[in-house]
Amino acid sequence: MNAQPAASLFINGQPVEGQGDALPVFYPYTGQEIASLREASGAQVAEACKVAAEAQVEWAAMAPVERGRVLSRAAAIIRERNEELSRLETLDTGKPIQETLVADWESGAAALEYFGGLAATVTGQMIPLGRDWAYTIREPLGVCVGIGAWNYPSQIACWKAAPALAMGNAMVFKPSEETPLGALKLAEILIEAGLPAGVFNVVQGRGAVGAALVTDPHVAKVSLTGSVPTGQKVYAAAAAGMRHVTMELGGKSPLIIFDDANLDDAVGAAILANFYSSGQICSNGTRVFVQSGIRDAFLEKLTARLAAIRIGDPLDPDTQHGPIVSPAQAARIRAAITAGEQEGARLVAGGVGEGAFIPPTVFADATDQMTLATDEIFGPVMTTLAFDTEEEVIRRANATGFGLAAGVFTQDLTRAHRMIARLEAGTCWINAYNLTPVEMPFGGVKLSGIGRENSAAAIEHYSQLKTVYVGMGGVDAPY
């Protein structure tokens, strides 16, 4: 298997070889090296930002409808090549092809399509002031840096590039060092769709390359998808230059299931909220609060459904559960499972697994204080917690520093809305979980983040207002 790209970086419309350290790419299923990349050197990071700053001027001067057309074309190209791109995504991430065919590039194409359409609709305001008046112009920020996590590499690249480019910004994107391949394809596709050279650039590297991007003098904004500790470092570094930020960080989200819920749907949602992409999803509802009366029935249905899951070769279209992205991540997940057992939680399904695979794992009889219930694991580990009353479960669900997402399952819709109003989470679902259509704002509160991706809300995070006062008469100076 070989997924070697033309070169490691993409700068000024061209593949460019990196001049930094080696960056091998492994297929998580076999551990085989499928591409040998190199990180960007410090000079290449600076060059990418400079090129982006130059290209941004021309791009911002284009009519928004023309910019939108480029993005729409890119969306169409992605959809034409979805099969080939999804295969590459599976090699890069190890996620089952049945997922990557529908959830990765397709979601990226939807973002390009959506913001392509939105580009020409963004207008300013006219503010009447009597004789005088004012108006506002929504302007691009300039050069935006995008930094990605490894779980949805191509989707993340598109979710950041689409609103940034639609508003007339340029972007330098650094994918996760674990999954560097998809962003290079996006760069090629955007050029093919008509994007001027230099408007979207890709540099590769580990954290130090990301850190160099954040403080480059050309950079006006940083959008990071990653963990809370990285977010804290990036936010602090960005603050020195008063740069804008969007932070899409981790979570430990509650999924609350009341005893009047449709149990089959609730079990299905708990599965989607914990095991899709082998559990490597930021918004996962990993604290599943189940009302005491249905706890046994819930666990029985859940374990029966998990017993039927097909685990294996991610390129086999029948496979439903693939490997973990890297041996290091698998080791971290295994340590969390072992700690859960040692702390006294009851393992009712799964376990530490073997090699690259960790099966869907479910704990019962956990308490809120166990690390299982406090720490983000970012793997296929569900912790179920029993509760009795609405008041109690709201208090326990909110007792975390995170605030990315939350879900409520109940047939009583008054209760559902009452609950949602009090849950401290940026993205919530009622009788559904983990659905993130591009039309809907996505993001977190508390430690889980700042800003929103997707929807018209993202436009505000990739632009700034200029206010213009227009004097229509004489100037009355006091002396």
Ligand X SMILES: NC(=O)c1ccc[n+]([C@@H]2O[C@H](COP(=O)([O-])OP(=O)(O)OC[C@H]3O[C@@H](n4cnc5c(N)ncnc54)[C@H](O)[C@@H]3O)[C@@H](O)[C@H]2O)c1
State which of positions 397-416 bind ligand X (CB under 6 A).
Answer: 404
The answer to whether residue 376 is catalytic is no
Stretch near ligand X under the rule CB under 6 A, chosen from 63-71, 208-216, 388-396, 466-474:
208-216
Q: Give one word for 78, left, alpha or beta, with left for phi > 0 and alpha for psi -120 to 50.
A: alpha
340 binds ligand X (CB under 6 A): no
Taking CB positions, which residue lies at the least distance from ligand X? 210
Q: Rule CB under 6 A: choose which of 104, 376, 390, 424 binds ligand X.
A: 376
89 binds ligand X (CB under 6 A): no
How far apart are CB 391 and ligand X at their closest, in Å?
Answer: 29
Q: Rule CB under 6 A: choose which of 206, 332, 415, 446 binds ligand X.
A: 206
148 binds ligand X (CB under 6 A): yes
What is d(CA 457, CA 157) in angstroms, rounded to the nearest whole number? Answer: 18
Stretch near ligand X under the rule CB under 6 A, chosen from 145-153, 300-308, 346-354, 393-401:
145-153
How far apart are CB 140 and ligand X at their closest, in Å?
Answer: 22
Q: Rule CB under 6 A: choose which of 225, 246, 278, 454 binds ligand X.
A: 225
Written as six digits, the tokens of 112 are: 């390009």
* Residue 226 vs 359, nearer CB to ligand X: 226
How far apart are CB 364 and ligand X at their closest, in Å?
Answer: 24
How far apart are CB 96 and ligand X at their closest, in Å?
Answer: 18
332 binds ligand X (CB under 6 A): no
- Spot the catalytic one: 99, 248, 376, 390: 248
Distances (CA, A) of 417 to 5, 164, 400: 49, 33, 21
104 binds ligand X (CB under 6 A): no
318 CB-contact burial (10 Å; exposed 0-12 / middle 13-18 / buried 19+): exposed
What is d(CA 140, CA 143) in angstroms, rounded to the nearest whole number? Answer: 9
What is d(CA 218, CA 7) in angstroms, rounded to the nearest whole number? Answer: 24
26 binds ligand X (CB under 6 A): no
State which of positions 232-251 bind ligand X (CB under 6 A).
Answer: 233-234, 248-251
Torsion over CA: 57, 62, 64, 65 (sign)? negative
* Residue 73 vs 243, nearer CB to ligand X: 243
214 binds ligand X (CB under 6 A): yes
State which of positions 269-298 bind ligand X (CB under 6 A).
Answer: 282
Site map for ligand X, 121-140, x if CB under 6 A? --------------------
Size of the chain in residues? 479
173 binds ligand X (CB under 6 A): no
378 binds ligand X (CB under 6 A): yes
Please give the size of the binding site for ligand X, defined by CB under 6 A. 29
226 binds ligand X (CB under 6 A): yes
Q: Rule CB under 6 A: choose which of 39, 89, 106, 177 binds ligand X.
A: 177
How far apart are CB 81 and ligand X at their closest, in Å?
Answer: 24
Stretch near ligand X under the rule CB under 6 A, chosen from 87-95, 131-139, 227-235, 264-272:
227-235
161 binds ligand X (CB under 6 A): no
Q: Rule CB under 6 A: choose which of 46, 62, 120, 211 binds ligand X.
A: 211
**Contact positions toward ligand X, by CB under 6 A?**
147-151, 174, 176-177, 206-207, 210-211, 214, 225-227, 230, 233-234, 248-251, 282, 376, 378, 404, 444, 449
Q: Catalytic positions, please?
A: 248
